[in-house]
Amino acid sequence: MRFPRTIVPARIIVTSLPYKARVYINNQVLIPASLVRALGIGHLTYADITIRYGEVVTVIKHAKLLRTSHTLARQFTIPKEVREAVGIKPLDEVVILGIKPAGSR
């Protein structure tokens, strides 16, 4: 008897920063569930995220951490002002240097 094959996506296991990530077509960046667990940021809705693109280090203040369905992974959008100032395009790689709870606005 043959069983249908199931395609299982590869898991991304990251437990510390810095973390190199690819910018998706919709200008979002994925923070894998293993990194969210390791940093203990699963409860956060907003965070201050420090990224590096090339030699430029930028802090994204009060970035909304978007939840993905049925997993602890999070995504955040790189704001248009930051993308234009630094020159980040979809499918480029950025390095996440730090994630901390957002300060009050």
Residue 88: which CATH number?
2.40.30
- 9-28 per-position pLDDT tens digit: 667 777 888 999 999 999 99
Whether residue 54 is contained in a domain is answered as yes
Report the distance separating Cα 67 and Cα 34, nearest Å.
Answer: 14
Report the distance separating Cα 35 and Cα 68, nearest Å.
Answer: 14
Whether residue 7 is contained in a domain is answered as no
pLDDT at 71: 87
Report the distance separating Cα 49 and Cα 96, nearest Å.
Answer: 7
Find the domain containing 39 and state its range.
19-101
Length reported for the chain: 105
Quote the number of domains for the chain: 1
Whether residue 74 is contained in a domain is answered as yes
Q: Reduce the DSSP state of residue 65 to 3 states and report it.
A: coil
Whether residue 73 is contained in a domain is answered as yes
Whether residue 66 is contained in a domain is answered as yes
Whether residue 8 is contained in a domain is answered as no
Whether residue 33 is contained in a domain is answered as yes
| pLDDT class of 8 with cuts at 50, 70, 90 | low
| pLDDT class of 5 with cuts at 50, 70, 90 | low
Report the distance separating Cα 84 and Cα 38, nearest Å.
Answer: 31
Whether residue 34 is contained in a domain is answered as yes
Cα–Cα separations (whole angstroms), residue 7 to 10, 11, 73, 74: 9, 12, 20, 22
- What rounded mean pLDDT belongs to the chain? 88
Mean pLDDT of 66-94: 93
